Structure 1
């Protein structure tokens, strides 16, 4: 996806989040245990400001968030932070340098992509929190979101911060997974200290997860409601599925 496409998706999903959140800021968010919609709104605002500074200053600010943000009304913070983020994007080329925890992605373009994906997931959280239907997710954004989660979050995290995954992967017999969304497929292989992702399906995978792009995105991010049809079919070892889930949760 091109940066312009990510920015268009970001604008659409921010508008949906901004329209949904005020309907019930006190409601609990089932996909983010312990958070209200107000907490979710504040979090998104803090994330936008954090990335604005990462671009402006060339390094991610630490510690974060600053204490003074806690006194700001969540919706006001969200609006201010979104405006600042867009202004920072507008003054840079996507290839410009920016601070990032992801070593291969030290660019503004990395944050344009990341903020588009951050926003679509959190507008789903807001929709689930206030109890309104989840708006459609474009196929291209959903496919990219699955790819980002598997490669940027999980594969990279296992390689860079292996200690966090030692217990999860130590006894892995070397499971294989195929995740498929329409014409796009990913193969995942796990083992002690290993989480590798390649394009395409694996023959005779231990676990196969298939579904439309939007449904698969929600599945990998755990944005489903218990008891509701997800549109995703999971076949294979429950133990292997649980390991995949634990890797994702730890990485995200």
Structure 2
């Protein structure tokens, strides 16, 4: 997938939704659209700093020298930051070794991560305006796998998952609008998990210390969720309620797992 082009498209869509920067964003409690724009723009500039300086040690977004706009964020500031990010990504060797908070220590990790930051926050802005978000199926499939690939590295997620006491529990996601392929598998620790997106079915197994493993393909789980793949993406990001999808099995497990796994 061309993540740089996806960043460009999603930035333009988000910028086009930010006419009134005072609109509350329910899926990001306490935020307005201005806060959403500031957050995304800060992430873009942070990533540019990381890439340009080939940062090798942890440096989080609020530690980076990011200059915020005078008078608050605006769509133009968002577009400028995204354009710079895309330019730097295209100029950078995707295989360049550097720090990431995920399992891959390559520059290419940041292109994929920033693309889905934008997809999800564009959805946040649309939901705030009462719009029905649309995410293309191929983007949603890859987005689910990007999230599953990175969750084991997110300590702010693994800690609450460990506290659930559900080691060995399984959650099956079944997209109803993609082809089914039961032959390809991947684990969350596979550094090449992003190389080939699955076909719309995944089983998540809760492992020790809050970590997860996952596999592509059809299988039974303690709880199973069926629905359009875009809705499954929004479900695992906490932007869609399980009540809007078809759930079989242990609904309480699903509800508790989703609350703890929020990225």
Which residue does the alignment assign to 1:148? 146
SS of match in other structure, 2:16: helix
SS of match in other structure, 2:212: strand
Which residue does the alignment assign to 1:220? 236
For residues 204-215 of structure 1, what are the structure 2 equivalents within 5 Å?
A: 205-215=221-231
Which residue does the alignment assign to 1:25? 21
TM-score, length basis structure 1:
0.83
Which residue does the alignment assign to 1:244? 257
Q: Output the CA distance in 1 between the equivalents of 2:98 and 2:238.
A: 29
SS of match in other structure, 1:11: helix
Which residue does the alignment assign to 2:186? none
Q: Is 2:216 the counterpart of 1:199? A: yes
What runs of 5+ residues in structure 1 fail to find an aligned partner?
none
C-alpha deviations, 1:56-107, integer Å up to 9, x for none? 11225444365852745311431331122122112113222333112x3222
TM-score, length basis structure 2:
0.80
Query: Cα–Cα, structure 1 residues 217 and 79, in superposed 2: closer, same or farther, change >3 Å?
Result: same
SS of match in other structure, 2:128: helix
Query: Cα–Cα, structure 1 residues 248 and 137, in superposed 2: closer, same or farther, change >3 Å?
Result: same
More helix by share: 1
Which residue does the alignment assign to 2:116? 117
For residues 38-77 of structure 1, what are the structure 2 equivalents within 5 Å?
A: 38-59=34-55, 61-62=59-60, 63-64=62-63, 66=65, 68-69=67-68, 71=70, 73-75=72-74, 76-77=76-77
Post-superposition offset of 1:192: 4.5
Query: Cα–Cα, structure 1 residues 225 and 212, in superposed 2: closer, same or farther, change >3 Å?
Result: closer
How many residue pairs get aligned? The number is 236
Q: Output the CA distance in 2 between the equivalents of 1:100 and 1:151.
A: 13
Post-superposition offset of 1:40: 0.2
Contact in 2 for aligned 1:55/1:99 (Cα 8 Å): no
Q: Is 2:177 the counterpart of 1:179? A: no
Q: Output the CA distance in 1 between the equivalents of 2:162 and 2:241.
A: 29
RMSD: 2.5
Q: Output the CA distance in 2 between the equivalents of 1:189 and 1:34.
A: 33
Q: Output the CA distance in 1 between the equivalents of 2:46 and 2:225.
A: 34
SS of match in other structure, 2:12: helix
Post-superposition offset of 1:126: 1.0
Query: Cα–Cα, structure 1 residues 146 and 132, in superposed 2: closer, same or farther, change >3 Å?
Result: same
Contact in 2 for aligned 1:176/1:187 (Cα 8 Å): yes
Q: Is 2:26 the counterpart of 1:10? A: no
What runs of 5+ residues in structure 2 fail to find an aligned partner?
181-199
Contact in 1 for aligned 2:169/2:222 (Cα 8 Å): yes
